[in-house]
Structure 1
Amino acid sequence: MLVKPPQRGYWCECWTENLAEEWPPALLASFDAYSSAQADRWVAVVLPTTSPALDADASDAAWEWLYDGRIETRRALLRSEPCTVSVTHASTRITWTNRPVLFLPLMHRQGAELPACAETFKHCRTH
């Protein structure tokens, strides 16, 4: 049986946090990137599309990152370091995170010998 090794990549997330209320942060989106360029591009594509909806300060911060801060994000990703990009609009902070991860391959259930414990699994029914 051929087993694939883990694959290096990046787990990317977009979170919002209401700074005025004591609500927990909310996950808006996540993305699995298989290269530093994909992880960097994910934020770089989303920020300009959201900037028209932001107030002037937040929009300026977004464009400043795109023109000046993005290179530091690229360098961090190339060094396999986590990085974040945040903008604050009114009382909402939007944060994009990119973290290096190892993606583990999944075992295909057909044509493979499953471990003995798989036969003892009992499916639970809920009513």
Structure 2
Amino acid sequence: MPELKISVGGREFDVACQEGEEHFLRSAAAMLDTEASVLLGQIGRIPETRMLLMSGLMLADKTAGLEDQLRSALARAKTAEAALSEAQANPTRVEVPVIPVEVTDTLAEIAARAEALADRVEESL
């Protein structure tokens, strides 16, 4: 079982962990050290047990906030998935607008005039 030396709040600790979990222990220790540094910056020197307790509580508070955000995001995702399933089950009817008769007539008249002009140009050549 590997033993690591970690630093939290400027204090060194020897901690054992399972084989292959050293990276996770270092990462957790770095997070705890960050919180301890905040405490030390605000309060100054405090007893080791109090520093570790307060740092752990600060991390737990952040974790609880992230869990709340995750629950909210999962609920929104579930709602969106339900809406998507509903939309796929009942596709929306899309209607393509019909070109009004006046527009069609006008385009036909313009085409006829263009052909007449083309005929005149052709005859004059």
**Larger proportion of helix:** 2
TM-score (norm 1): 0.19
State the structure with bigger RCO (CA 8 A, min sep 6), 1 or 2: 1
**Larger proportion of strand:** 1
Q: Larger radius of gyration, structure 1 or 2?
A: 2
